[in-house]
Structure formats: C-alpha cells, structure tokens
C-alpha cells in the first residue's frame, strides 16, 4: 500500500506511530492524541526544519498502534524508542549503567545495597547517582552515621557479631536480639537522610537524646549527639537554594545545531544535593519535542520522583506528562516553566551549567578531531575512527582467565561501554583461543544490536590480528577495521600490525596517534587485570568443596562444621557421607568420587 493510501485509512484514535524506510528500519517513533491528524501534519507543514523534511522524504511505510488512553501511548512510545533506538528520536541512554541505592524494606532488618537497575518490589530506590564513586561515598557516609547492618543476606545468620558491632557501627541484628521497631526507627532516619530531609532527623534525634539523658542513659544520649553532629557537618556542605522545603528536579538545556547538553539539578528539602548531565548528538527534533522526549524517557525508569519539575521550555504534552508522573509517584507532580523568582534563578543556574559543560565538550571534540584524522591517515583506515574498542586477555597458567573490552568514543574513554568476559571454553594456556572466544561473543552481540565499532585494537602481534580476522570472516563482517599493537621485546618499541602486511608499519613513537593507541591498549590491560584479580581472589579463598557440582557455600560450611576439618571429609567413607541428614545420596556420592579421584 502506498503512503498516500495509508494516509486515507489512518485511525483517528490515540496511539503510537512508527515511520519506516524502504529497508524496514524504523526512522521515528511518536505518539498522538489523534493519529490521523498528527501523521498527516508531517506532509502539510511547510515550516518544518530541513531534518524533518529529510525524514519524510525517506519514508516508505507507516505503522500505527492504537491505545486506549494517551498515558498508554506515552509508555508504549518510551518502550519502542528504547527497543529500536530510531535515528530521528532523542534516545536516552538506559539507566541500567548508573547506580542506585536500594533499601530492602521487605526484610525484617533492612539493609542498603548498591544496584544497577530498580525492580518493582517493596524496596525503596534512591538515585540514579552520577558515578559508582558517588554512590559508594554516600553508602559509606550512611554507615558512619547510622547503625544499619552491612552484612549480606546470605551471611546474615552468624554465631557472633562482626567487627562493626564491636566498633559501635552496627546493632548486630544477625546475632543479637534486636527489637525490629527500634531498628526500623534507624531505617526511617536513613530514608529521610537519602530524601534530603536531614533537618527532620536532627529534630527527632535531639528529642530522643533529651529523653535518654532524662532516663540517665548517658551512653545512648552521647551516641545520638555524635550522630546529630555528623549530620550537621554534612548539611554544611549542601547549598541552600530555597526556603521552600520542596523536592525539585531542575532541567538546564543548551543547544547548538544537532548537539544538546542537559543538566539536572537535584533539589531536596530546599538544598542542592547533586547533579547529572547528559550529552545528546544528532538531534533532529525541535527544542520542545527533544526536551519532552528526554524527560519522558528519563522518568520512565527513574527510581524516585520529585514533587516538582522545573523546565526551561513549555512541553507540547505537559498535562499528559503530569498525569502520568502523578500516577507513577502516587502523589501530585507539577511541571512548571518559571519566568521569575527563586525557581527562575534555579533554572538559570542549571542552564549555565549546561552551557559550560557543552563548551567543555566542544573543546574536547575540537582537540580530538585532528588526532583521529591523523590516526585515520596513518593506519590507512577507510572511515573516521569515532568509536574504537580495545581487547586484552589476562590469566595466570590459564586460571581465572578473563578478557576485557574498553571503548573510546571521539578520543575519550566511554566507561559505560566497557565489558568484561569470563573465559568459558578454554581451559589450557592458549591466548589465541581466548582472544577468539571474547571477540566471537562480542561481535555476535554487536551484529544483533547493529552498533559496530569503527576500529578494533587487539593487544598482541600478528597471531592475535589473524584471530580477529578469522572471527570477522566467520561472521561475514566486511566493513570493520582491525589492528594489533604488540609490545617490543628487544628494542623496547611497540609495533603496529595491519591486516595482510608482513611487517609492522612505521609510526613515530612520540606522535599523539601512537600515544592514543598505547592508551587504549594500556586501559584494556588495566581493566582485564582488575577483573582477573577479583576472580583469582574468589578462587583462592573458596573451599575445595565448592568445586563439587551441587555443593554450594552453605552445604560446604555445614559439612566442615559436621566433620570438623577438610581432612576428615576426605577420609570419610561413602557410608559415612550417606548418614549425614542434610546430604542427599547423590551429593554424598559426588563428594566421595571427587576426593577419590583426587587421591588416585
């Protein structure tokens, strides 16, 4: 059916529409109160930007999905944008890469965990935080101020408390008779602290301190005093921006051509407690449409919502967004666009931050462009190396073997794109086989995602380079460039190998291009070694019993408690093992055969 015919048969109800090109690729996903009116407007508006007219010229097919309500259309639009990442939409990076703090309220004695993605459970999530370091610093501060447990659920049941109880930093609910109601008072304080309502905590603690002092419980009163002082010190570092004790997210927006910088200031209880920024490129929509798309995608996966959202522009579907966010939060959420007063000053602060960050990014890109152009020329690349991925292997005698992939975009590390690989199919010392495995796994996934890098750098010589070429041939990848960077053994000079060339190419060792390649190789090496150390440490401190199929940490611990030592388990007969009440016959046989084969 031709586009003209489809325009005549479009439904008039609300829903979502998908624009496709001749290859079936989705160019744009949008929502509309009236699908027919909205879609037809693309073909009748003469004032549209060149980008929109270009998109319409590529249009080959239109697909519509009718929904019962506008809110359903908004949610579906977000899901489809995340799934297909259309070229002409503003695509917000998935928040799974950003950390949250999870307070496990479903537990009798809740604890605080660092997680990557909020789940729909009874826990409370705070975040997302700008970095892992930021969330760890916050968690560490909470542990210093509040006596909340630190032990993991798996280690919760213990015979004696850990060292944090001895230091007075935990009530030790794991091994002491702790009143859940008293513990939950502390949990409530942690919630208020993470919400930015520290003054409420201070008032409550002062009242409790006075009560404890009147009861002559001076040690308890002193601990409460210390906690008050610690919170007050934290408050001194936070800037008061409003006498209204409200929670607000303030969006700053700065744009030049197709590049946008967005800054979000988090105001909690009238204080700025943090900020986050996002850089968007190749944005072809108007400012209002771009901001609306970003805001809806951002709050689609947000762990918590403020009472008020301050924006620099009036959104086309402001009322619909407010309804959806209010329903999501369970309380009213307002979207405002102030022109004066305290809120306007907050908005100007966010916009100034967005402008500064945009200018900093522009300077970095201006410096990286000549570098990458030079690299393209020196390596005889067919295209500009915008996205470069580096690979390395780390192992000791084939134990805890791992691989790493680091990603550089426009000359800068893109740490959200880093990946770690545990070697699964190679048990011997064979770096070539290990490199084959990680490249094969990674490039297969890249083919599915349609997000290939422009250049791959493998750590090694011609052997590793040939492995990469073999993987590309097997996967029928033809437009990917690959090189190898080998450390010079005798001369002390690193060597760059290109495909189908016998000898390394000559690149000045002191040139910026060469230093850039070394930086990628060294970063991949560092990332691989750090992961290798983590796995090696786990293996070194794990019980040999856990190497037996079906025997986990709990069963291993119970066996050691039952027998008294690993030596006694090794010397036990099959009948002895079968008599153990918590062990099945199958597990008893597995343990017996494991140690029997070890002794053989």
Q: What CATH number corresponds to the domain at position 414?
A: 3.30.420.340
Whether 398 maps to a domain, the answer reads yes
Residue 380 lies in a domain: no
> What range defines the domain where residue 551 resides?
544-599
In a domain, 81, yes or no: no
Residues 582 and 534 in one domain: no
C-alpha pair distances (Å), 386 with each of 389, 398, 415, 456, 511: 10, 34, 15, 11, 19
Q: What is the CATH number of the domain that holds 49?
A: 3.40.1440.10
Indicate which CATH number applies to the domain containing 344: 3.30.420.10
List the end-to-end C-alpha distance of the chain, in Å, as a whole number: 74
Could you tell me if 458 and 525 lie in one domain?
Answer: yes
pLDDT score for 240? 47
Is residue 25 domain-shared with residue 116, that is, in the same domain? no
* Helix ranges, 86-162 (H): 132-145
What's the confidence (pLDDT) of residue 398? 53
Query: Nearest 5°: phi and psi at 216?
Result: 70, 20
Shared-domain flag, residues 230 and 260:
no
Position 492 scores a pLDDT of 63
DSSP state of 505: B
Shared-domain flag, residues 66 and 151: no
Among residues 316, 342, 359, the one where a domain terminates is: 359
* Whether residue 230 is found in the same domain as residue 116: yes
Domain stops at, among 511, 539, 567: 539
DSSP class of residue 550 equals T
Q: What residues form DSSP beta bridges with 261?
A: 254, 279
In a shared domain, residues 400 and 515 = yes
* pLDDT the model gives residue 169: 75
Is 428 found in the same domain as 319? Answer: no
Q: What is the pLDDT of residue 533?
A: 79
Residue 374 lies in a domain: no
Domain stop point among 70, 86, 120: 70
Helix axes 132-145, 218-236, angle to 10 degrees: 150
Determine how many CB atoms are found less than 10 A away from the CB of residue 365: 15
In a domain, 367, yes or no: no
pLDDT value of position 96:
46
- Asked if residue 324 lies in contact with residue 332, where contact means CB atoms within 8 angstroms, the answer is no
Q: Give this prediction's pTM.
A: 0.59
In a domain, 95, yes or no: no
564 occurs within a structural domain? yes
The verdict on 402 and 463 lying in the same domain is yes
Q: Which residues contact 387 (CB under 8 A, 6 or more apart)?
A: 407, 408, 409, 414, 453, 454, 455
Do 209 and 311 share a domain, yes or no? no
Q: What is the CATH number of the domain that holds 562?
A: 1.10.150.20
Cβ neighbour number for residue 70 with a 10 Å cutoff: 18
* β-pair type (308-310, 334-336): parallel
CA distance 537 to 332: 49
Cα-Cα-Cα-Cα dihedral sign, residues 473, 475, 476, 480:
negative
Q: How many domains does the chain have?
A: 5
Residue 529 within any structural domain of the chain: yes
Is residue 519 domain-shared with residue 564, that is, in the same domain? no
Q: What is the mean pLDDT of each run of 10 residues along the chain (600 residues)?
A: 76 89 87 89 68 81 86 84 82 61 86 80 75 76 81 64 78 79 86 73 80 82 78 55 70 92 84 80 86 89 83 92 90 92 88 90 83 91 92 75 90 88 83 92 88 91 93 91 84 84 84 91 90 72 72 81 83 85 85 74
Residues 268 and 230 in one domain: no
Q: How far apart are CA 184 and CA 180, in angstroms?
A: 6
> Which are the contacts of 24, defined by CB distance < 8 A and separation ≥ 6?
61
């Amino acid at each position: 059916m031709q586009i003209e015919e489809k325009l005549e048969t479009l439904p008039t109800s609300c829903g979502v529409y998908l624009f496709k090109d001749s290859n079936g690729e989705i160019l744009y996903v949008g929502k509309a109160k009236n699908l027919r009116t909205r879609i037809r407007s693309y073909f009748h508006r003469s004032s549209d930007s060149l980008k929109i007219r270009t998109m319409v010229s590529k249009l080959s097919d239109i697909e519509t999905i009718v929904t019962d309500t506008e809110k359903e259309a908004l949610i579906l639009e977000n899901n489809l944008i995340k799934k297909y990442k259309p070229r002409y939409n503003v695509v917000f990076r998935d928040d799974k890469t950003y950390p949250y703090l999870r307070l496990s309220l479903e537990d009798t004695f809740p604890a605080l965990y660092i997680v990557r993605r909020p789940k729909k459970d009874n826990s409370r999530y705070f975040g997302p935080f700008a970095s892992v370091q930021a969330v760890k610093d916050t968690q560490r501060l909470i542990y210093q101020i509040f006596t909340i447990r630190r032990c993991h659920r798996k280690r919760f049941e213990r015979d004696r408390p850990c060292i944090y109880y001895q230091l007075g930093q935990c009530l030790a609910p794991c091994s002491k008779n702790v009143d859940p109601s008293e513990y939950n008072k502390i949990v409530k304080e942690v919630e208020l602290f993470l919400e930015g309502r520290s003054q409420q905590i201070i008032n409550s603690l002062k009242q409790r301190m006075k009560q404890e002092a009147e009861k002559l419980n001076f040690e308890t009163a002193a601990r409460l005093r210390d906690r008050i002082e610690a919170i007050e010190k934290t408050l001194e570092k936070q800037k008061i921006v409003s006498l209204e004790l409200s929670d607000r997210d303030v969006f700053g927006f700065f744009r030049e051509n197709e590049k946008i910088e967005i800054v979000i200031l988090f105001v909690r209880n009238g204080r700025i407690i943090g900020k986050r920024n996002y850089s968007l490129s190749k944005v072809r929509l108007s400012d209002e449409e771009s901001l609306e798309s970003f805001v809806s995608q951002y709050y689609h996966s947000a762990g918590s919502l403020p009472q008020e959202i301050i924006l620099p522009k009036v959104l086309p579907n402001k009322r619909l967004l407010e309804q959806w966010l209010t329903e999501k939060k369970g309380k009213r959420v307002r979207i405002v666009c102030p022109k004066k007063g305290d809120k306007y000053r907050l908005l100007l602060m966010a916009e100034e931050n967005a402008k500064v960050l945009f200018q900093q990014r522009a300077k970095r890109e201006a410096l990286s462009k000549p570098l990458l152009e030079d690299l393209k020329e020196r390596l005889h690349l067919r295209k500009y190396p915008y996205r470069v991925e580096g690979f390395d292997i780390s192992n000791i005698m084939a134990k805890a073997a791992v691989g790493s992939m680091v990603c550089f975009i426009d000359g800068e590390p893109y740490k959200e794109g880093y990946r770690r690989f545990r070697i699964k199919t190679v048990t011997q010392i064979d770096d070539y086989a290990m490199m084959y495995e990680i490249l094969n796994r990674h490039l297969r996934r890249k083919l599915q995602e349609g997000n290939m890098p422009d250049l791959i750098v493998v750590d090694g010589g011609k052997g590793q380079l040939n492995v990469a070429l073999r993987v590309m041939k097997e996967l029928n990848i033809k437009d990917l460039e690959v090189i190898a960077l080998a450390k010079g053994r005798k001369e002390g000079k690193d060597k760059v190998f290109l495909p189908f060339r016998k000898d390394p190419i000559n690149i000045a060792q002191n040139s910026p291009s060469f230093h850039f390649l070394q930086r990628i190789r060294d970063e991949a090496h560092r990332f691989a070694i750090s992961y290798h150390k983590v796995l090696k440490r786990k293996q070194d401190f794990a019980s040999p019993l856990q190497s037996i199929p079906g025997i986990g940490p709990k069963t291993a611990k119970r066996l050691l408690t039952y027998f008294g030592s690993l030596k006694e388990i090794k010397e036990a007969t099959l009948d002895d093992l079968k008599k153990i009440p918590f062990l099945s016959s199958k597990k008893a046989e597995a343990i017996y055969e494991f140690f029997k084969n070890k002794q053989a």
